[in-house]
Amino acid sequence: MHHDSKDHENALEYALSGCELATRKSQEMCLALDQSCLVFDNNELAEIVYRTIIRSNLKAGWVWKRLGFHELANKNYTDVIPAFQASLRTNSKDIQCLEGFFIEAIEHYKITIEKAKEKGEPDHFPSLKSSGDNYLTLAKEYFQMGSYGRAADSIADGFTLRSVIENLEPSDINKKLGFPNEIDGSAIRSITEENDSIIDVYSAILTCS
């Protein structure tokens, strides 16, 4: 057991040395090292890689973004926001970072909802509504980047949560979750541009279905 632990420590030490060398050479080497971590599913090594690169270059937005999703996947929610904020400072229009923010918020609401259930409050309305609104806001971002399938999924999730608040009948929910395939990308884009409110956006889409 001690031998295995020592080998593990040595492997991490070599990886750290390689990472420091990569940061001095090029971003391509950093990306290659990062890809190796993903291939071998080594979360511990991945975090070492991210933080080592960040120490070398605080403006490496792509690394901050990877770190943000790494923390999100490991449910370290308090560390998610600073990572995405740092990445957005280098590219304020990075849709993946914005998506990460919404996912992080949704996960927090899910935790609140679960805690409410444990206390005998299955319908924690504030969290349900806020989580639903986050899904729908994320849907609008997907529309604007042309990811219509992902937008449809987010709208469906948003409707499912909001329906609890609005007391919709199951048949109404199923009808509203249908996504109008006949609407092309330009029509959807036009809807989002003409409506500032996400409620107006999905209402307009449903009207066309």
The answer, yes or no, to whether residue 3 has pLDDT greater than 60, is no
- Amino acid identity of 144? Q
Domain boundaries, the chain: 2-92, 124-208
For residue 182, the model assigns a pLDDT of: 41
Average pLDDT estimate for 111-124? 66
b/e per residue 67-81 (b: at least 16 CB within 10 A): bbbbbbeeeeeeebb
State how far the Cα of 140 lies from the Cα of 149, in Å rounded to an integer. Answer: 12
Q: What pLDDT sits at residue 9? A: 53
CA distance 185 to 45: 41
Give the pLDDT score at 104: 66
pLDDT of residue 1: 42
Both tokens of residue 122? 């299955």
What tens digit of pLDDT does each residue of 72-93 get?
777 776 677 777 777 777 776 6
CB-CB contact of 19 with 35 (8 Å): no
Q: What is the pLDDT of residues 151-192, one digit of tens each?
A: 777 777 766 666 555 554 444 444 444 444 443 444 444 544
Q: Residue 91's Cα: distance from chain center in Å?
A: 16
Does the pLDDT at position 34 exceed 60? Answer: no
Select 2-92's CATH number: 3.30.1330.20, 1.25.40.10, 3.90.1150.10, 1.10.3720.10.
1.25.40.10
pLDDT at residue number 68: 78
